[in-house]
Amino acid sequence: MENKYNRLRNFHQAKWDEEVIFQLHNPGEKGIIVPEVEKEIQNEIGDGISEIPASMLRSEKPNLPEVGQMRVLKHFLRLSQQTLGADFNVDIGQGTCTVKYNPKINESFVRNPNESELHPMQDQSTCQGTLQILHEMGEFFKEISGMDRFSFQPSSGSHAILNMASIIRKFHEVNGEDGQRDEIITTIFSHPSDAAAAAVLGYKIITIHQEEDGLPSAEALRSVVSERTAGLFITNPEDTGIYNPNIIEFTKIVHDAGGLCGYDQANANGILGITRAKDAGFDMCFFNLHKTFSGPHGSGGPAAGVIGVTDRLKDFLAVPIVGKKEDGSFYLDYDLPNSIGKTRQFYGPIPVIVRAYAWIRSLGAEGLEEVANIAVLNNNYLLHKITKIRGAASPFPAGKHRIEQVRYTWDKMFKETGVGTYDVTLRLADFGFHMWSSHHPFIVPEPFTIEPTESYSKEELDEYIEALQRISDEAYSNPEIVKTAPHNSVIHKIDHSVSDDPKKWAISWRSYLKKHGN
Amino acid sequence: MKSENFVHPYIPNSVPEVKAKMLEEIGVENIEELYSDIPDQLRFKGKMKLPKALTSELALKQHMEKILSKNKSVNEYDSFLGGGVANHFVPAICDEVNGRSEFLTAYAGEPYEDHGRFQALYEYQSLMSEMLDFDVVNVPTYDWAQAAATSIRMAQRITKKDEILISELIGPDKLSAIYNYCQKSMKITLVKHDEVTGLLDMKDLKSKLHKDLAGIYFENPSYIGIIENQGKEISDLIHESEGLSIVGADPISLGILKPPSQYGADIACGDIQTLGNHLHYGGCLGGFISSRDEEKIVMEYPSRLFGITKTEVEGEWGFDDVAYDRTSFGVREKGKEFVGTANALYAITSAVYLSLMGPDGMHDIGRHLTQKSLYAKKILGKIQGLKIKFDTASFKEIVLDFNESGKTVQEINKALLNHNIFGGIDLLEKFSWLQNCALFCFTEMNSKEQIDHLASVLTEVLAN
């Protein structure tokens, strides 16, 4: 390897050429034995099956593979090795996702039987520990956001947006304006779900685009609010990482028009202890515990989107919330007169909440502020370095600082060499890194979004930068190597042609066998 | 911490020298400058009132374990609680894979460096397909409630009709979430059940059928554990009126009970908690949706769907998103509902569970659960002061009627708690007509001894 890239590793990902589990089928093998019921029960009841109505009895056993225990273990461990988790890489390339360190000690808490073996319907006196955690978390988030009450019903950020939209519906309904207020306004650099989840409840979505400075303008907002405005869903900083300094004006414009304002704080990593939702005039906000608050991403969940509201919306939250009695005990409180009801079964994604609770406890107020400070420091350091790489740029005013992430572009490189974002993404896999383009639509051409969080050391950031540098050098000198990547990943270029063709797509193994034979 | 030279283990670049170097590189004096876009009036000047940081891992561990020790788990108490989640055995390998760093901390990488994640989720879909005898299963959503709500909205889009029939015997939590999700766009009409059998009231169903229905949603087994044996008739009737049949099912029942696809369902849904996932106070759920592989149905899924494909290298499997442009990731509000992070890790865990269990395991667990609840029915049915409410076949859960005893479920459960027993769910809180009735659940985790003990304690409690 050239000296120039002395930080880069001679990496190769595990490649097991592992079969699909059904290909491991060996008739008669067993992964686990289900215990038989006690002899006395057998004598008393028989096989039990005759009691099931014949019309409901499954005639053939499900066609699952039969695989011995060790082989099942090996199979899934191999698949795990063929997955690049944050614990293994400098996971700063999945911008907007806040992929940070997930402390291992927190895993021990959710694998503690006193957390994992609680049934949601057991007597509340027997789950005071978990209820305490939920209650205290509500208090923590009041401090973090300035809001007045929190609910833990939302199962993700998108689900929290649905909760916000439901509250907006209910609020206008109570005020007799629901029929008239049928529009939700959002911005193009807010998460797709800010538009999509609101649309599920029948709202017409109005999307404001950015101006030349990368920000939506107050004028643009003013021109779309009216007596039909139900509310505004907005991220700040948006996906560009630029903080919108006019946000107070935004919330005022919407309030003056009679709407409510919901703050999408899925990613709040750069502003903990720096600025708060309520002070910017928001009526509601939510936080993703699997992002800012360190819940591991779990290959795509579990997630949690805790939602907070100001006093006037206090009784609209999804139930239950956790109250504290005078005697110090905790209880599930369903007594919210205007509640939107339940939006998930039971009380929330508990393991995600427990991990996040432990994370907050480990850091305290100053620690959270330090998280924000270092996340912002790391981000601006990267901004400074990445924009020096040939072919890379950060659109919108140069010289502006960013908060926790930056949306960059490879547009120049793409035009000059034909190497674009997706090529770089695949080539980065050769060095053991991720890179994510961005949410659609690609307003910024050939986009990529980098979010370093507070978790990675300067050396690690430098290693990632060097990989980008090397790929840029390759694009300008030997683009083929980028275009044919990945070379050191698990697999090679995928045939995407089947994925949009109903005759060829195979969403299960049985469907594959039907459509493509063996 | 901020002003001192304290470096938290989670924040390496807090080291003052490193910080200084990075600031210099950026060309600013201090971090404060980086926040210059945030107007002064928006800057939070106070201090968040949070408890003192437990920076040592040991202190954190001690604190957390102290709080958690206030809980009483179902390992300590005999639990007879179900109602959507239940205490089932979790094989060790499920925990091993669920806790693997790679799966635990991966997120949204490409099908190359995250090949294993794609394959594991594809295998989850494939294994569940076999359980459901359907060709399509989604990457799971939040929970059964969301899966049911989305299945209903899918039916709305497929049929272009806006009214749905729902059996009144579904959990009220779920119903509340469905109401919330379908508000403004759908009319929900509840279908009654037969008070003697606990089955769907076919007369009531027939009176509510018409040509403008998107379909019907019912559960099998129902919330109160009853095996609905009229599935075929219900599906036939709704098909005659050109609506879809949507059935919610507990997947752990499907080794022995017919999957909904075999009695006419167009869409099946349910929760995967029972397949290798722990209880977590109801916080560890995952909603599956499943159907035939028909373009007009597949294109209405909001969820990620992974498909299998080949790569440029002979013999290599690849995995890919199927019909990505359906999703809100692809086209924002023009997509089907919305998609985002949900519960992939639990799906991978369930894939491990089904791989271990195989066809025999799933059959055997179904039989085991059937035998257990039949035994409980028999033993508990002899107790003075209680009755088995329905004389209909049930799975895993049975309704005990305490009306004769003159005691409320609350009183009875309080007494049971003194014997370290979590009694059944008070159905009065769920269905007003089930006064003094409780839903008891029996799983492989409840030994004969536990059931016998329950019987003797109940005998005593009801006699006093």
Q: Which of B392, B376, B371 is nearest to B458 (CA)?
A: B376
Eight-class DSSP state of B342:
-
Q: Residue B244: its pLDDT value, please?
A: 98
Nearest to A132 among B43, B70, B309 (CB): B70
Which chain B residues contact residue A109 at CB under 8 A? 64-65, 68
Domain closes at, from B301, B334, B354: B354
Nearest to A169 among B35, B86, B183 (CB): B183
Which residues are CB-contacts of B279 (< 8 A; sequence separation ≥ 6)? Answer: A116, A117, A118, A119, A120, B74, B85, B86, B87, B273
Which residues are CB-contacts of A176 (< 8 A; sequence separation ≥ 6)? Answer: none
- Are residues B202 and B282 part of one domain? yes
Domain closes at, from B354, B387, B402: B354
Which residues are CB-contacts of B64 (< 8 A; sequence separation ≥ 6)? Answer: A109, A358, A361
- Distance between CA A219 and CA B430 in Å, rounded? 50
A223 touches chain B (CB under 8 A): no
Distance of CA B57 to the CA centre of its chain: 33
Tell me whether the omega of the peptide bond preceding residue A62 falls within 30 degrees of 0, making it cis: no
Q: Tokens in use for B164?
A: 């749905």
What backbone torsions phi and psi does residue B448 show, to the nearest 5 degrees? Answer: -60, -40
Q: Residue A28: its pLDDT value, please?
A: 98
A390 touches chain B (CB under 8 A): no
- Distance between CA B94 and CA A83 in Å, rounded? 17
Domain closes at, from B354, B369, B388: B354
Quick check: is B415 in a domain?
A: yes
Q: CB–CB of A38 and B285 under 8 A?
A: no
- Are residues B14 and B153 part of one domain? no
Which residues are CB-contacts of B183 (< 8 A; sequence separation ≥ 6)? Answer: A166, A169, A201, A202
Residue of A489, A494, A513 to mutate when probing chain B, most B C-beta within 10 A: A494
pLDDT per position in chain A (518 positions), as tens? 446 899 999 999 999 999 999 999 999 999 999 999 999 999 999 999 999 999 999 999 999 999 999 999 999 999 999 999 999 999 999 989 999 999 999 999 999 999 999 999 999 999 999 999 999 999 999 999 999 999 999 999 999 999 999 999 999 999 999 999 999 999 999 999 999 999 999 999 999 999 988 899 999 999 999 999 999 999 999 889 999 999 999 999 999 999 999 999 999 999 999 999 999 999 999 999 999 999 999 999 999 999 999 999 999 999 999 999 999 999 999 999 999 999 999 999 999 999 999 999 999 999 999 999 999 999 999 999 999 999 999 988 766 899 999 999 999 999 999 999 999 999 999 999 999 888 888 989 999 999 999 999 999 999 999 999 999 999 999 999 999 999 999 999 999 999 999 999 999 999 999 999 86
Q: What is the CATH number of domain A110-361?
A: 3.40.640.10
A501 touches chain B (CB under 8 A): no
Nearest CA distance, B88 vs chain A (angstrom):
10
In order of A39, A86, A376, A400, B345, the CA distances from A372 in angstroms are 62, 19, 6, 18, 28
Q: CB–CB of A492 and B31 under 8 A?
A: no
Burial of A54 (0-12, 13-18, 19+ CB in 10 A): exposed
In order of A199, A327, A343, A357, A379, the CA distances from A317 in angstroms are 20, 25, 10, 21, 35
Q: Tokens in use for A483?
A: 């275009």
Q: Where are the domains of chain A?
A: 110-361
B64 touches chain A (CB under 8 A): yes
- Distance between CA B149 and CA B246 in Å, rounded? 11
Nearest CA distance, A273 vs chain B (angstrom):
7
Eight-class DSSP state of B401:
E
Q: Which of A403, A501, A484 is nearest to B112 (CA)?
A: A484
- Are residues B400 and B332 part of one domain? no
Nearest to B107 among A128, A245, A297 (CB): A297
Quick check: is B72 in a domain?
A: no
Nearest to B370 among A49, A109, A491 (CB): A49
- Are residues B400 and B314 part of one domain? no
Low-confidence residues in chain B, pLDDT < 50: 1-2
Q: Residue B4: its pLDDT value, please?
A: 59
- Are residues B34 and B117 part of one domain? no
Chain B residues 369-388 within an 8 A CB cutoff of chain A? 370-372, 374-375, 378
Q: Residue A398: its pLDDT value, please?
A: 66
Nearest to B254 among A62, A380, A381 (CB): A62
Tell me whether the omega of the peptide bond preceding residue A154 falls within 30 degrees of 0, making it cis: no
Nearest CA distance, B19 vs chain A (angstrom):
8
- Distance between CA B127 and CA B148 in Å, rounded? 20
* CA triple B1-A406-A288, angle to 5 deg: 60
CATH code of B108's domain: 3.40.640.10
CATH code of B363's domain: 3.90.1150.10
Contact B114, A146 (CB under 8 A): no
| pLDDT tens figures, A72-92 | 999 999 999 999 999 999 999
- Are residues B221 and B282 part of one domain? yes
The residues with which B287 forms a beta bridge, in sequence order, are B141, B271
| Helix or strand holding residue B361 (H, E) | helix B344-380
Helices assigned H by DSSP within B381-437: 409-418
Q: Tokens in use for A282?
A: 């928001």
Q: Residue A4: its pLDDT value, please?
A: 82
Q: What is the amino acid identity at position B86?
A: A
- For chain B, how many structural domains are there in total? 3
Q: Determine what percent of chain A is predicted with pLDDT higher than 70.
A: 99
- Are residues B450 and B417 part of one domain? yes
The residues with which A105 forms a beta bridge, in sequence order, are none
Eight-class DSSP state of B141:
B
Q: Residue B2: its pLDDT value, please?
A: 47
- Are residues B366 and B345 part of one domain? no
Q: Residue A3: its pLDDT value, please?
A: 63
The residues with which B268 forms a beta bridge, in sequence order, are B247, B290
- Are residues B348 and B372 part of one domain? no
- Are residues B244 and B195 part of one domain? yes
Q: Residue A183: its pLDDT value, please?
A: 98
Which chain A residues contact residue B279 at CB under 8 A? 116-120
The residues with which B244 forms a beta bridge, in sequence order, are B215
B323 touches chain A (CB under 8 A): yes
What domain range includes position B413?
78-87+359-463
- Are residues B201 and B239 part of one domain? yes
| Helix or strand holding residue B449 (H, E) | helix B448-463
CA nearest to B395 within chain A: A52
- Are residues B373 and B254 part of one domain? no
Give the DSSP per-residue string, A175-219: TT-TTT--EEEEETTS-HHHHHHHHHTTPEEEEEPP-TTSS--HH
